């Protein structure tokens, strides 16, 4: 049996000079101009919401610390407020001195009573608010908001 061979035609491919044409460079510049602001806004949003979540965790822990102090016999509301403000200041929250703190010592918990500590904290976005307002001035996205944290613990008998 005779052996069959396939013939392959080889073409020469022109070598790339490494240079993009003007239209290709313009298209790349346009794509960057469109996608870069979107990517930056996503990064800013991730940063800001991470900071907001961390602040909320600090508020929750501060309310819990205040409730721990409040359930002890003989403690005053001023001592509870001082404990909460010291925790907020230790965590470097800017408005620790002005955040409203409420203490309610007569919360019903079944046959017992408990103490509820509530903190209201004004939170402002550092980068998100100005960035969104630059794009859409009437937007409320990124506007300052009030965070709230509540802790309830059973009173010591």
Q: What is the per-residue DSSP string for 13-25?
A: PPPP-S---HHHH
Cα angle for residues 130, 134, 139 (degrees, 5° grid): 80
How far apart are alpha carbons 108 and 116 in whole angstroms? Answer: 10
How far apart are alpha carbons 11 and 24 in whole angstroms? Answer: 26
Q: How many other CB atoms are there within 10 angstroms of residue 125's CB atom?
A: 21
pLDDT, residue 91, reads 93
Q: pLDDT tens for the chain, 157 residues: list them.
A: 667 766 667 777 665 555 666 677 788 888 888 898 889 888 888 998 999 999 999 999 999 999 999 999 889 999 999 999 999 999 998 888 889 999 999 998 888 889 999 999 999 887 777 777 777 788 777 778 899 999 999 988 7
DSSP-derived 3-state class of residue 136: coil
Question: For residue 41, what are the contacts with CB-CB under 8 A and spacing of at least 6?
Answer: 131
Structure tokens at 64: 């819990």
pLDDT, residue 134, reads 75
């Amino acid at each position: 049996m005779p052996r069959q061979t396939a013939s392959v035609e080889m073409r020469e491919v022109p070598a790339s000079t490494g240079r993009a044409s003007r239209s290709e460079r313009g298209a790349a510049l346009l794509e960057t101009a469109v996608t870069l602001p979107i990517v930056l806004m996503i990064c800013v949003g991730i940063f800001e919401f991470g900071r907001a979540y961390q602040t909320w965790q600090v508020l929750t822990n501060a309310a819990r610390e205040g409730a721990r102090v409040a359930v002890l016999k003989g403690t005053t509301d001023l001592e509870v407020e001082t404990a909460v403000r010291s925790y907020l200041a230790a965590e470097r929250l800017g408005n620790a001195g002005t955040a409203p703190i409420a203490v309610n010592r007569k919360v019903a918990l079944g046959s017992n009573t408990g103490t509820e500590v509530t903190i209201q904290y004004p939170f402002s976005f550092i980068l998100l608010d100005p960035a969104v307002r630059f794009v859409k001035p009437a937007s409320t996205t990124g506007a300052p908001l009030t965070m709230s944290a509540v802790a309830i613990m059973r009173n010591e008998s």
